[in-house]
Chain A
Amino acid sequence: GAGVSQSPSNKVTEKGKDVELRCDPISGHTALYWYRQSLGQGLEFLIYFQGNSAPDKSGLPSDRFSAERTGGSVSTLTIQRTQQEDSAVYLCASSHSTDTQYFGPGTRLTVL
Chain B
Amino acid sequence: AQSVTQLDSQVPVFEEAPVELRCNYSSSVSVYLFWYVQYPNQGLQLLLKYLSGSTLVKGINGFEAEFNKSQTSFHLRKPSVHISDTAEYFCAVFSGGYQKVTFGIGTKLQVIP
User: Which residues of chain A have a CB within 8 Å of any CB of chain B?
Assistant: 33, 35, 41-43, 45, 48, 50, 56, 91, 93, 98-101, 103-106
Does B53 touch A at the CB level, under 8 Å? no
Further pairs besides A93-B44, A98-B96: 13, Cβ < 8 Å: A42-B90, A42-B103, A42-B106, A43-B44, A43-B90, A43-B105, A45-B102, A50-B99, A56-B99, A98-B94, A100-B49, A101-B101, A103-B43
- DSSP class of B's interface residues: helix, strand, loop or mixed? strand
Q: Which residue of chain B has its CB nearest to the CB of A3?
A: B43
29 A-B pairs with CB atoms under 8 Å apart are A33-B101, A35-B103, A41-B105, A42-B90, A42-B104, A42-B106, A43-B90, A43-B103, A43-B105, A45-B100, A45-B101, A45-B102, A45-B103, A48-B100, A50-B99, A56-B99, A91-B43, A91-B44, A98-B32, A98-B96, A99-B49, A100-B49, A101-B36, A101-B44, A101-B92, A101-B101, A103-B44, A104-B43, A105-B42
Does B61 touch A at the CB level, under 8 Å? no
Does B67 touch A at the CB level, under 8 Å? no
Partner of B34, one of A42, A100, A104, A106: A100
Instruction: Indicate if the CB atoms of B49 and A42 lie closer than 8 Å.
Output: no
Contact with A along B81-100 (1 / 0, CB 8 A): 00000000010101010011
| Count of B interface residues, CB-CB < 8 Å | 22
Instruction: Indicate if the CB atoms of B43 and A105 lie closer than 8 Å.
Output: yes
Does B29 touch A at the CB level, under 8 Å? no
List of B residues within 8 angstroms of A106 by Cβ: 43
Does B68 touch A at the CB level, under 8 Å? no
Instruction: Indicate if the CB atoms of A56 and B100 lie closer than 8 Å.
Output: yes
Q: Which residue of chain A has its CB nearest to the CB of B105?
A: A42
Assembled-state Cα–Cα distance A105/B46 (Å):
14
